[in-house]
Amino acid sequence: MPLYETDPAWADVTPIELDDGGPSPLVAIAYSDDYAEAMSYLRAVMAADEMSERALALTEDLIQMNPAHYTVWLYRARILTAISADLSAELTWLNSIALRHLKNYQIWHHRQTLVDRLGSADGEQAFLRSMLDQDAKNYHVWSYRQWLVRRFALWADDSGELASIEELLNEDVLNNSAWNHRWFLVFGREGQEEGYKVLDETVERELAFAKAAVRKEPQNQSPWNYIRGLLRQTKRPLAEMKDFASEFAALDRPDEVRSSHALDLLADIFADEESNAGQAKVALAMLATKFDPIRASYWQYRKSLLPSKEAPAA
């Protein structure tokens, strides 16, 4: 059923059929007719570089059928500028498309262009929340969110960002994307704002937060990585975590080990201590044989880095 061919608004346009350089033309079958017809009109208006309401409507039609066609998005963005369209209305329309096509990245690039031009982040956090309700680890959404924080300087604790991350981690403490955004909020500000330095008390707050998360779910690599990252970033020794890690793994009670990550950290702490290489070896052997055997070669490598017990014969 041709939609454009019989529409008076399109009577002056001659559609351009596909020429894919090969001998086999588009095989017309019923269910791709609408798409093929709309594409032939797109080729025609793009060839004429037409900037109009009807061309905008045509891109909307095509995006509904195939949101991954990046050329259509770029053309649409140019039309919006050329005809000075209402960008808030565009954003509202875009929300519904984004919620239906979670894996599409063109939508996010388009959004970034719009919100940048609008110059306001109003409503964005609420919309991102509804996106994350559907897929809390969507990489496009998190990348866009970082752009939003930088663009509108949403670093401060009362910006709503940190609160939103706490909420997400309360719902799913395993959400590595949320942990990464938390790190970004704490440390990403350095280098963005002149003279800004992360306070010691902020680092303490973050350590306490990560420790509480480990207690909730000890076998969760995200907060363990976070703790290691905090110590590394602030040049503090791993040994500070010895007591904490020991809560979840003790070398003499292998049946009560609650976290391979705690064993991993303990192995590093023992390795740094003089004359405790033996204990590090025990921890690494437990990982290689019982708690993480699929990476036995990795634990073996870590063992090879330890100083050998006996001094070489003189």
Partner 1 sequence: MSLVSGPGRGGADDDKLPEELMLSVDQHVKYIQSLDTRKDELEYWLTEHLRLNGLYWGLTALHLLGHPEALPRDDVLTFVLSCMHDNGGFGAAPGHDAHMLYTVSAVQILTTLDGFDELEQKVPGGKAKIGRYIANLQDRETGAFAGDEWGEKDTRFLYGALNALSLMHLLDAVDVDKAVHHVAACANFDGGYGAGPGAESHSGQVFTCVGALTIAGRSDLIDRDRLGAWLSERQLPNGGLNGRPEKLEDVCYSWWVASSLAMIDRLHWISADRLQAFILKCQDAELGGIADRPGDAVDVFHTVFGIAGLSLIGHPGLEEVDPAYCMPKAVTRRALGGR
Contact with partner 1 (CB under 8 A) among 8, 22, 195, 312:
22
CA atoms in the 13 A half-sphere facing the CB of 112: 18
Residues 128, 155: contact at Cβ < 8 Å? no
Question: Binding partner 1 by CB under 8 A: which of 1, 29, 311, 314?
Answer: 29
- Kindly state the smallest distance separating residue 28's Cβ from partner 1, in Å: 9
* C-alpha span between 14 and 16 (Å, rounded): 6
State the nearest-atom distance from the C-beta of 45 to partner 1, in Å. Answer: 13
| CA-wise closest residue to 9 among 57, 47, 49, 81 | 57
- Distance in Å, CB of 310 to partner 1, minimum: 25
Rounded-to-integer distance, Cα 302 and Cα 268, Å: 9
Question: Could you say whether residue 235 binds partner 1 (CB under 8 A)?
Answer: no
What is the Cα–Cα distance from 254 to 285, expressed in whole angstroms? 11
Q: Which of 52, 125, 60 is nearest to 89 (CA)?
A: 60
State which of residues 95, 125, 221, 276 lies at the interface with partner 1 (CB under 8 A): 221
The window from 17-25, 87-95, 269-277, 282-290 that contacts partner 1 (CB under 8 A) reads 17-25
Residue 183 interacts with partner 1 (CB under 8 A): yes or no: yes
Residue 312, token pair as written in the block:
């070489």
Is position 139 an interface residue for partner 1 (rule: CB under 8 A)? Answer: yes
Restricted to residues 57-116, the positions that interact with partner 1 (CB under 8 A) are 65-66, 68-71, 74, 77, 109, 112-113
Distance, CA of 289 to CA of 60 (rounded, Å): 57
Bridge partners (DSSP) listed for residue 193: 190
Output the smallest distance, CB 177 to partner 1, in A.
5
By CB under 8 A, name the one of 1, 6, 11, 24 that touches partner 1: 24
* Window contacting partner 1 (CB under 8 A); options: 28-36, 84-92, 199-207, 238-246: 28-36
Active site residue 103: yes
Decide if 179 contacts 224 (C-beta within 8 A): no
Residue from 14, 4, 8 nearest 47 by CA: 14
Collapsed DSSP state (helix, strand, coil) of residue 80 = helix
Q: Closer CB to partner 1, residue 294 or residue 314?
A: 294
Q: How far is the CB of 296 from partner 1 (least distance, A)?
A: 8
Coil, strand or helix at 227: helix
Determine which one of 103, 137, 242, 281 is catalytic.
103
DSSP count for the chain of H helices, then E strands: 15, 0
H/E stretch holding 106 reads: helix 106-118
> Which one of residues 104, 164, 177, 259 is an interface residue with partner 1 (CB under 8 A)?
177
Residues near partner 1, by CB under 8 A: 18-22, 24, 26-27, 29, 31-32, 35-36, 39, 43, 65-66, 68-71, 74, 77, 109, 112-113, 137, 139, 142-143, 146, 174-177, 180-181, 183-184, 187-188, 221-222, 225-226, 228-230, 232-233, 294-295, 297-298, 301
